[in-house]
């Protein structure tokens, strides 16, 4: 049962974090007419370009998240 739940959460997290979905998130959180470079910078600054399993652990609450500090 626990293995099934773990696999299901992994699949859901993977589907949520596909590149097109992340780009949509970045566009919705920034101005609509930002460049691709600015979108990529936003994703990097907010931790969406970290290792997949590190982000998965943070999402599950197993690993601590780093605070985001805007300049």
Query: pLDDT digit string (tens) for 2-32?
Result: 899 999 999 999 999 999 999 999 999 888 7
> What total of structural domains would you count in the chain?
1
Question: What is the residue whose two structure tokens read 């999402």?
Answer: 59
CA atoms lying within 13 Å on the CB side of residue 56: 14
Full residue range of the structural domain in which residue 11 is found:
2-25+37-60
Structure confidence at residue 62 (pLDDT): 85
Query: pLDDT digit string (tens) for 42-69?
Result: 999 888 999 999 999 988 888 887 766 6
- Give backbone dihedrals phi and psi of 66, rounded to 5 degrees, phi first: -90, 135
CA distances from 11 to 3, 4, 36, 50, 69 (A): 12, 11, 27, 18, 30
- The structure's pTM equals 0.74
Domain assignment of residue 42, yes or no: yes
């Amino acid at each position: 049962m626990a293995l099934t739940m773990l696999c299901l959460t992994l699949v859901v997290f993977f589907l949520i974090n596909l590149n097109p979905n992340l780009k949509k998130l970045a566009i919705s959180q920034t101005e609509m007419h930002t460049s691709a470079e600015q979108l990529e910078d936003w994703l990097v600054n907010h931790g969406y370009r970290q290792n997949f399993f590190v982000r998965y652990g943070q999402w599950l609450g197993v690993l601590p998240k780093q605070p985001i500090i805007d300049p």
